[in-house]
Structure 1
């Protein structure tokens, strides 16, 4: 089932009758729709059961939306929050009351606002600092990569940047060989083929950081985080203590979900997530 269609359906079902209040709050729908969180949970749990890859998709969709404002607002945050929980991650309490963007950015404009596969630690820290995250929270939010996959198209450029000895800096030789085998240069299927972000790709845990320490980081930023003194300590701590990771991730998730939101009389409440009314 198309993920956007799911979001559209949920939005029409829930928020067509649940609009009230001003600004973000934890009881925004207390009078108009007090069971909103339970309704969302009940609606998406069957999706999670029939498609084990959907939690990663919902989480990515929310992350991308927070960069470009193209969603149905609250419904996407709640769906992403449930995606984390159903995958074994922390319970995250989020304030509600977001309204939709009155503009629909172009595909190219949206792409220009999203971090690329070549983004390193400097770019990552700047991106999340703009959303008022600490260095620790920035490292924690990257832990969302514990779910899902990375398409080979986003890896080929990195594999081309080997040193004189033929090795990619910071990447374990055995893992590099694995990536080259699964993402061959010149492959016509590089956009369709992929590699797992970590061995427990369906479980929200701290294995992402353990992989980074072992030199099994898939993206450039993964490898740089353990090599950069600004981020290395947080990577090691999260690898050693999953509870610390969950706590920092929860804080970062809330900050990301609150970044640049439209509330009150700002924005609109769309009837169709895919289009402006």
Structure 2
């Protein structure tokens, strides 16, 4: 028991020392305009396609939960993270957004090969949230890029659509994130879409429609996802304001309109319901909690100092 405590203490100290090296003005002397350069590139991509926003936001979350926030999800080696079925839909606008922003940064002579893909992804994520009406916030920088990306490392590292509250809390706690952090980060489902195959069991089962699901909403989902339809058909996560980063997600949960079991459980479980009600009634409270949670998420498993590298090409190691 003492040995376990010592190991946990050592791990906590190691993690703390890593993210302690992150700071908001990390590139002040090496690439002082990095934030405006990234913001401009992201805004340009966003004007081309809205999917830039949810794609980039989801990409950041998936990256940080697997091997830490080291941009390993962007690597294109054989059997990489992006090849896992949980990540295959990410290799589109989110990837392109980071690539375009990296090209813009490196086109500035004073910035070339000085800003990591991991930091660019963190900045781009903040920018897409702001572009869709959500809060803007300061981003801690100084991450280095990882050199390893494996398909196997994704297994059991990301929340499953059928998770209950205990499973969600356990997974998020393993990254130093509280239940409130988890509920706030789940609010990112106010943007983007999922696929029919991800929630099929809730609307088609021997027992009938999931009782925690709003019946009218379930019937609408059945119309959009009839039996034997292509499971990849896209459905908005937020049926009311899918293009705006707001607290509608929590209001939907109050009405039984959470698309996944792992969404709706936040309201059906009494232990998390009060937080859902708070965020549903107070958009600012949600924004504040989201910024806090995103800052903590951005510290997960970071490489700093001489660890990792600064990739010249975000899709491959130097």
TM more than 0.5: yes
CA distance in 1: counterparts of 2:316 and 2:161, whole angstroms: 28
Correspondence list, 1:1-277, <5 A: 23-69=21-67, 70=72, 71=74, 72-106=117-151, 108-161=152-205, 163=207, 166-187=208-229, 189-191=230-232, 193-198=233-238, 199-277=240-318
RMSD of the TM alignment (CA)?
A: 1.5
Distance apart, 1:98 and its partner CA: 0.3
Q: How many residues align?
A: 251
CA distance in 1: counterparts of 2:205 and 2:311, whole angstroms: 45
Distance apart, 1:159 and its partner CA: 2.6
Note the alpha carbon deviations across 1:85-111, whole angstroms, 9 max, x for none: 0100011111100011121212x4324
Q: Is the 8 A contact 1:152 1:190 kept in 2?
A: yes
Note the alpha carbon deviations across 1:200-233, whole angstroms, 9 max, x for none: 1110000000001101110011111111122100
Secondary structure at the counterpart of residue 56 of structure 2: helix
Q: Is the 8 A contact 2:160 2:262 kept in 1?
A: no
Q: Is the 8 A contact 2:39 2:127 kept in 1?
A: yes
Note the alpha carbon deviations across 1:164-207, whole angstroms, 9 max, x for none: xx2312111101111111112222x211x121111211100000
Change in 2 beyond 3 A, CA 1:152/1:64: same
Distance apart, 1:158 and its partner CA: 2.9
CA distance in 1: counterparts of 2:141 and 2:153, whole angstroms: 27
Moved >6 Å (runs of 4+): none
Distance apart, 1:53 and its partner CA: 1.8
Runs of at least 5 residues in structure 2 that lack an aligned partner in the other structure: 1-19, 75-116
CA distance in 2: counterparts of 1:88 and 1:253, whole angstroms: 16
Secondary structure at the counterpart of residue 73 of structure 1: helix
Q: Is the 8 A contact 1:135 1:230 kept in 2?
A: no
